Amino acid sequence: MATPIESPSTTVAETDVTDDPEAVTPPTDDLTSDERALLVDNLRYVLDGRWRATRDLVRESADRSDLLPDPSRTLDEARTRILAEMRELAQNGFAAAGFAADHGGSGDVGASITAIEMLGYADLSLMVKAGVQWGLFGGAVENLGTARHHDRYVTAIINLDLLGCFAMTETGHGSNVQALETTATYDAATEEFVIDSPTPSARKDYIGGAAEHAQVAAVFAQLITGGPGEEPSSRGVHCFVVPIRDENGDDLPGVTTSDCGYKGGLAGVDNGRITFDQVRVPAENLLNRYADVEADGTYTSPIENPNRRFFTMLGTLIRGRVSVAATAGAAGRKALTLATRYGLVRKQFEAPEGTDEIVVMDYLAHQRKLLPLIAKSYAIACAQNELTSELHEVQSGSAGSGPDGRPADDSDAGRQRQLESDAAGLKAYATWHASHTINVCREACGGAGYLDENQLSIMRGDIDVFTTFEGDNTVLTQLVGKELLSAYADDVQGLSTAGWVRFVVGMARDVVVEKTAARQVVQTLLEGSDEDTEKSNLTNRGTQIRLFRNREDHLIRTCAQRLRVALDDGNDAFEVFNNAQDHLLKVGRARTERVVLEAFIQAINDCDSRSAAEVLGKVCDLFVYSALESDLSWFLMHRQVSVERAKAIRRGVNELCTELRPHARSLVDAFGVPEELLGAAMLSNG
Amino acid sequence: MATPIESPSTTVAETDVTDDPEAVTPPTDDLTSDERALLVDNLRYVLDGRWRATRDLVRESADRSDLLPDPSRTLDEARTRILAEMRELAQNGFAAAGFAADHGGSGDVGASITAIEMLGYADLSLMVKAGVQWGLFGGAVENLGTARHHDRYVTAIINLDLLGCFAMTETGHGSNVQALETTATYDAATEEFVIDSPTPSARKDYIGGAAEHAQVAAVFAQLITGGPGEEPSSRGVHCFVVPIRDENGDDLPGVTTSDCGYKGGLAGVDNGRITFDQVRVPAENLLNRYADVEADGTYTSPIENPNRRFFTMLGTLIRGRVSVAATAGAAGRKALTLATRYGLVRKQFEAPEGTDEIVVMDYLAHQRKLLPLIAKSYAIACAQNELTSELHEVQSGSAGSGPDGRPADDSDAGRQRQLESDAAGLKAYATWHASHTINVCREACGGAGYLDENQLSIMRGDIDVFTTFEGDNTVLTQLVGKELLSAYADDVQGLSTAGWVRFVVGMARDVVVEKTAARQVVQTLLEGSDEDTEKSNLTNRGTQIRLFRNREDHLIRTCAQRLRVALDDGNDAFEVFNNAQDHLLKVGRARTERVVLEAFIQAINDCDSRSAAEVLGKVCDLFVYSALESDLSWFLMHRQVSVERAKAIRRGVNELCTELRPHARSLVDAFGVPEELLGAAMLSNG
């Protein structure tokens, strides 16, 4: 990958000259304004990744302050406004990329996700609403449906002639999707499915679009059918297209929708509830890519194992999860841009000599609040780019499924599985980071940060639910750990926790620590570093990777061992699992952090600009040092770092903050948040 | 202190029988319902502390769901509603306790703060609005004014005939109050002060009440005056009563108010801005307890040193800070009650055997989310009770100031100074805890937690600003550290950071580590424990105290040493300070945590119920273990715990979670949040 022409983009340079708050304070770095603009361009090139053209298109079209959330809107007004914005997006062809060319789209999954991510710079309600329509609902039709659904629905979904919602979660079941209670019973007499909510807890809940706008729902329900002479039985969760509203917006017969009302944020998204009372839909409304019901009620599926079938279906839907992770990254970057810019104009307490007060960004405590979060945001952005790219590859067919809907071969199945685990891990890691970051940014701006006119408080409310929707972060992190410990074994999915423990304990010991092959750059760096991490300099990239890898390996090994010993001692398998749950979660976190680091290193390695790579190297060091610092007790307890090195790590964070302080503005400028979306009174009030 | 009669309160028992969600699941502890009710009563007795009668009064009158925030209200409606609720409080004599009997109140400072704290169970907007009127504005008149102000204003403040606001913060200055820009220039010709905002950044900002309701403002401004033949000069920040609105609510001549508009929460509080253009007020409007201006412009004050004068004035205003800390504690306890109750009804994922799913509170990861926060909330509640009590003593005159406004003697001055530092430390510690806790509780309730109908999302928005108003938490934590390092020396206040460094470095070394004498129970426990902490069991209370004290002492000593060495090396004093800022903050946090632990231990020691004391002992252990766990790297790096002990601490947190799990419901019931204020649809939906 090549960086752009090594000359400053004039647009960026001009913006900076007229608008740079640092211009009013003595310059704190040695770069000329041209050099700085060039640095920003090159940093942005790295961050923007493969779909940088898409990013620039969205930047250009979204550079409008009227896209920002307006807290004075009523709930109704906010919802209406977001729908209007979505229609505008549709008119501009925003959604086509997410659907295959032969279904009526333009077939660029990566561009589709990147475009949705960029909405995170404008309004998270818009992103969620768009994500529901095109990512979740559209994605279900696209990935679980067949030609009859694609022909009938996809164009209408793209241009918003058909508004849909994604009715998976129920009042009683969120994380445990296999236990959903809604039923879809096949009636051979009429060749229909009867959709029903048998209990109060079967009510579909928190469904974006269900309160007002959605005309149809992709309903996840237990499919109940039997062939001739066969007792009807449940075949597990499948997805059905169910109309819920007529043209006037009234509930169709048997459908009862209601409104979730006010929420902690995302005012523009009309979350609602749906219950079904024996609602009949034609048999063809079953999204039948992975399973079908013949006219006589006979159930067929190319995937025999019900658990495998279920998880294959779910697996095609990870686009939503990937988009959520990506958008959280964008939201965090925007918050850091606002807080850093404020930190560069806000002064408080007099300088030691003279009457002028000190810019708060010059305080170590303030640097320590913001700079490590900026560093982590860089690392996450690079990992996100890789994840989006991998999803693109897998879903674009090169590593796709065979004609029967099953992965073409085992290596593809493994790749899909790996992708799902990486998506789960990064979704949790990135959304927790975003939620924490926006909170810290709000605090770093004091009272100003609490005023909606400065956006951070709105973003804080909006981002909050990202940590628990599209997969609860704790459950997802645990999933990563479970996959690692059971070496992605197929038969593990769908096992109870106790069953999973028994499986892991029965596994061959060495399978457990197997890992995906290291990429070339990582291999090279590892080879160039001492196996004894204490002997290498801590800024040695190979040593950094080694520390992260050693932690992951150690945690996996000891977790497996712990389960084995506990079960051998005759303990109840659930208790064995439960007592090790924090250990398992730590496995998941350590794994994801290692993946994030290696992606960041790859991106730096691919960067052709020496000055940008140099700054990125410092940013990477700060990411590593602060990651080590926040888990220092583990490294010390497991003698992975010495006490002396631990102290050096704490000092190192401070030193790196000081070194990166002059680049603070450049680092956030490189995020490329459109200027109009950074409207905040505090940035002009000082 | 005696606990109440050792028999269950029937009210509590009845509530539990009809309403206990645990009733539908197999009982997880061995207590009968009577025993449980008694335990809850006794735990509550400890938590309620000295002003338990006040707590019960507020509980009784606030047990109304109509007091809960209603997100469907417009900003106007929310403000109007809160004002109406405040008028109701006033009618019921809510505010009298905060004012001296001879000023028109009933003179019970502790009761006044406790009552405000209890509003945190209902609506944080109400607490803030009440806190502004009676705590901040009323407190300024009460504590900075003299008879002429008390006679004229106090009754009207109590009964809301006069609505005021507290106009300290400016757009340009929050933490650095000494640098406020608003001026109050004395005009001897008319015997008036001229209040003026000379610059845009002098605008009063974020002022609760300024947007709509306040008729007058307590304005903090630089007093400029000179006696006959003397050049007028600034005498530092003083406080003035300035009318801002007429009877119609219109701005008075020269006053311009505006509205801060929508915020991240606290919808019922009308925060606004005020600028003054040469506004004239009579000389008597100077709150002149600590300084006065004679008719001819001569400035007089019983406190000669301007810094000391300024900090003495500020010091009398800590009631607001103490109330904010107290209320944050209440809000955190309410959130934990909601999340714990939900965790006891919400099930997810099947049990290993059988078809029933597992109550999420039975997962270790869920216990680890909530139980350590419950434990910390207990500890903080005990520390808060002590702080409120100490404030009561100091402000009730037994340790009060002499007739000239100065502390009666040096020991009283020291006590006041200590109180201010403790209030700063606990405010930061408790509000960060509350903000974090409410966030974790929201996440622990998943999608349900995000719906306003379940309150947590509203509380999350409301609590957010508590970490930065009434003193930014980082600045306050630093203040604690600075006070410790400079041994509360009087001449340090008002020094620049660089000046402070030079002072500390010049101090006698042993003064630095001096600490307030240990209380008896702590002394006894220390004597009964081994000086080598590794040799004692970690559940030994003396060992726990020793670990916390050793950390504090070590941090203070090494911080002083670090400053000394760095300055000796000829470095710039501000840089020396800045490089050690994280160290200094750590001093502040460690100190506060030690104070919190000792207060908790004191409360357990005072508890007469054996069963309650036993449970509290476990709770205290969990507080200690998780506090140690979250700072484990420090303890390891400084060889205060061994690697083996560190591992035992991690294990210990898990084990204590398991041990306390059966008491989860009792622990939150003991918080005594009125049942009607726990309205949350998720608790009935399951």
Please report, for chain A, the start and end positions of each structural domain, with discontinuous segments joined by +.
164-315
Q: Which residue of B has its CA nearest to A73?
A: B74
Residue A489 has pLDDT above 70, yes or no: yes
The average pLDDT across A303-311 equals 94
- State the average pLDDT over residues A126-137: 97
A354 pLDDT band, cuts 50/70/90, is: low
Question: In Å, how far is B581's CA from the nearest CA of chain A?
Answer: 6
Q: How confident is the model at residue B685 (pLDDT cuts 50, 70, 90)?
A: low
More confident residue, A188 or B490: A188
Average pLDDT for residues B644-651, to the nearest whole number? 97
B164-175: average pLDDT: 96
Label each residue of A466-528 as H, E or C: HHCCCCCHHHHHHHHHHHHHCCCCHHHCCCCHHHHHHHHHHCCHHHHCCCCCCCHHHHHHHHC
pLDDT exceeds cutoff 60 at B439: yes
Q: Is A418 on the interface with B (CB under 8 A)?
A: no
CB contact B356 to A (< 8 Å): no
Q: What is the mean pLDDT of chain B?
A: 92
pLDDT higher than 70, residue A362: yes
Cβ–Cβ below 8 Å for A496 and B364: no
Q: Quote the pLDDT of residue B7.
A: 39
CB A75 within 8 A of CB A85: no
A51-108 pLDDT per residue, tens: 999 999 999 999 999 999 999 999 999 999 999 999 999 999 999 999 999 999 999 9
Q: What is the pLDDT of residues B538-563, one digit of tens each?
A: 999 999 999 999 999 999 999 999 99
Give the least confident one: A36-50, A663-677, B354-368. B354-368
Three-state SS letters, B284-333? HHECCCCCEECCCCCEECCCCCHHHHHHHHHHCCHHHHHHHHHHHHHHHH
Helices A610-630, A541-568: inter-axial angle, 10-degree rounding: 30
What's the residue count for chain B? 686
- In sequence order, the β-bridge partners of residue B382 are none
Describe the crossing of helices A318-345 and A456-463 by its angle, rounded to 10 degrees. 160
What is the predicted pLDDT for the residue at B507? 83
In angstroms, the CA B588 to CA B600 distance is 19
Interface A-B: count of C-beta contacts within 8 A: 236
Write out pLDDT tens, residues B243-268. 999 999 999 999 999 999 999 999 99
Token reading at B301: 């004050």
In angstroms, the separation between the Cα of residue B628 and the nearest Cα of chain A is 11
Query: Which residue in the block uniquely carries the two structure tokens 């095609």?
Result: A316
HSE of A68, CA atoms in CB hemisphere, 13 A: 23
Q: Which residues of A touch B364 (CB under 8 A)?
A: 578-579, 581-582
Cα radius of gyration (chain B): 26
List for chain A the helix, strand, coil content (%; round to 5).
60, 10, 30
Interface of A with B in 508-527 (CB under 8 A): none
Among B567, B559, B528, smallest CA distance to B546 is for B528
- What is the ipTM, given to two decimal places? 0.94
Q: Say what the pLDDT of residue A355 is.
A: 66
* Contact residues, chain A, for B581 at CB < 8 Å: 363-365
Residue B309 CB-half CA count within 13 A: 20
User: Looking at residue B684, what is its pLDDT?
Assistant: 86
Q: Is residue A462 scored above 50 in pLDDT?
A: yes
Question: Which of B386, B470, B483, B552 is flagged as catalytic?
Answer: B470
Nearest to B599 by CA among B439, B378, B401: B378
- CB-based contact (8 Å) between A435 and chain B? yes
Q: Find the residue in A nearest to B444 (Cα).
A: A468
Residue A401 has pLDDT above 80, yes or no: no
Res. A29 pLDDT band, cuts 50 70 90: low
pLDDT of residue A30: 79
Task: Determine whether the interchain pair A264/B581 forms a contact, defined as Cβ–Cβ distance below 8 Å.
Answer: no
Candidate from B71, B173, B646 with C-beta closest to A633: B646
H helices within A606-660, ranges in order? 610-630, 632-637, 643-660
Which of B171, B365, B572 faces A581 most closely, judged by CB atoms? B365
Give me the pLDDT at residue A684, please: 86
- Catalytic: A393? no
Give the residue on B whose Cα is nearest the Cα of A203. B685
The span from the CA of B365 to the CA of B351, in Å, is 16
Mean pLDDT across chain A, nearest whole number? 92
Per-residue pLDDT, A509: 57
Angle at B612 between CA B607 and CA B613, to 5 degrees: 55
What is the number of other CB atoms lying within 10 angstroms of the CB of residue A200?
Answer: 14
**Which of chain A's residues have a Cβ under 8 Å away from the Cβ of B633?**
629, 632-633, 636, 646
pLDDT value for B22 = 40
Instruction: Determine the residue among A73, A501, A637 to mutate to test chain B binding: the one whose Cβ has the most chain B Cβ atoms within 10 Å.
Output: A637
Query: Is pLDDT at A404 greater than 70 in this prediction?
Result: no
Of all residues in chain A, the one with the smallest CA distance to B171 is: A685
Q: Is the pLDDT of residue B16 over 90?
A: no
Other CB atoms within a 10 A radius of the CB of residue B25 amount to 16
Topology adopted by domain A164-315: Butyryl-CoA Dehydrogenase, subunit A; domain 2 (2.40.110)
Chain A residues in contact with B467 by the CB 8 A cut-off are 443
Taking alpha carbons only, the member of B654, B615, B631, B652 closest to residue B366 is: B654
Q: Which has the minimum average pLDDT: A343-357, B10-24, B164-178?
A: B10-24
Nearest alpha-carbon partner for A331 in A455, A454, A472 = A455
Nearest CA-CA distance, residue B74 and chain A, Å: 8
Q: Report, as an integer, the average pLDDT of B566-588.
A: 94
| Cα gap B435→B429, rounded to integer Å | 10
Q: Using CA atoms, how far apart are residues A86 and A105, in angstroms rounded to an integer?
A: 17
- B-chain residue closest to A346, CA distance: B172
What mean pLDDT do residues A474-486 have? 95
Judge whether A260 is closer than 8 Å to chain B, CB to CB: yes
Which residues, numbered 454 to 493 in chain A, qualify as contacts with chain B under a Cβ-Cβ cut-off of 8 Å? Answer: 456-458, 460-461, 464-465, 467-469, 472-474, 478
Q: B508: pLDDT confidence band, cut at 50, 70 and 90?
A: low
CB distance B176–A365 less than 8 Å?
Answer: no
Q: In Å, what is the CA distance from A369 to each residue of A432, A445, B297, B593?
A: 16, 11, 47, 21
CA distance B107 to chain A (A): 32
83-142 in chain B: CB under 8 A from chain A: none
* A674 CB neighbour count, 10 Å cutoff: 19
Which CATH architecture fits B164-312?
Answer: Beta Barrel (2.40)
Judged against a pLDDT cut of 60, whether residue B537 lies above it is answered with yes
Angle between helices A473-485 and A410-444 (to 10 degrees): 140
B637 to chain A, closest Cα gap in Å:
5
Give exposure, A470-500, as e/b (b: 16+ Cβ within 10 Å).
Answer: bbbbbbbbbbbbbbbbbbbbeebbbbbbbbb
Would you say the pTM of this structure is higher than 0.90? yes
Judge whether residue B412 has pLDDT over 50: yes
SS percent in chain B: helix, strand, coil, step 5: 60, 10, 30
The CA R_g of chain A, rounded to the nearest whole Å, is 26
Work out the angle between the directed axes of helices A109-119 and A364-395 (0-180°, nearest 10): 150
**pLDDT at residue A510 above 60?**
no
pLDDT band at residue B408, thresholds of 50, 70 and 90?
Answer: low
pLDDT at site B488: 84
Name the catalytic one among A470, A552, A593, A598: A470
* Domain topology for B67-158: Butyryl-Coa Dehydrogenase, subunit A; domain 1 (1.10.540)
A264 to chain B: closest CA residue? B457
Q: How far apart are CA A102 and CA A107, in angstroms?
A: 8
Kindly tell me the burial class for residue B357, based on how many C-beta atoms sit within 10 Å of its own C-beta (0-12, 13-18, 19 or more). middle
Q: What is the dihedral of CA A467, B444, B675, B324, to 10 degrees?
A: -60
CA distance B269 to B136: 14
With H, G, I as helix, E, B as strand and everything else as coil, classify residue B273. Answer: strand
- Across the range B351-357, mean pLDDT stands at 73
- Residue B175 to residue A496, Cβ atoms within 8 A: no
Task: For residue A569, give the DSSP letter.
Answer: T
User: Which 366-405 residues of chain A touch chain B by CB within 8 A?
Assistant: 368-369
- Angle between the N-to-C axes of helices B541-568 and B610-630, in degrees from 0 to 180, rounded to the nearest 10: 30
pLDDT at position B54 over 50: yes
β-pair partners for B219? B167, B240
Give the list of residues 6+ apart from residue A18 with CB closer than 8 angstroms, or none. none
Helix (H) or strand (E) holding B481: helix B473-485
Looking at residue A400, what is its pLDDT?
Answer: 45
Q: Does B199 touch chain A (CB under 8 A)?
A: no
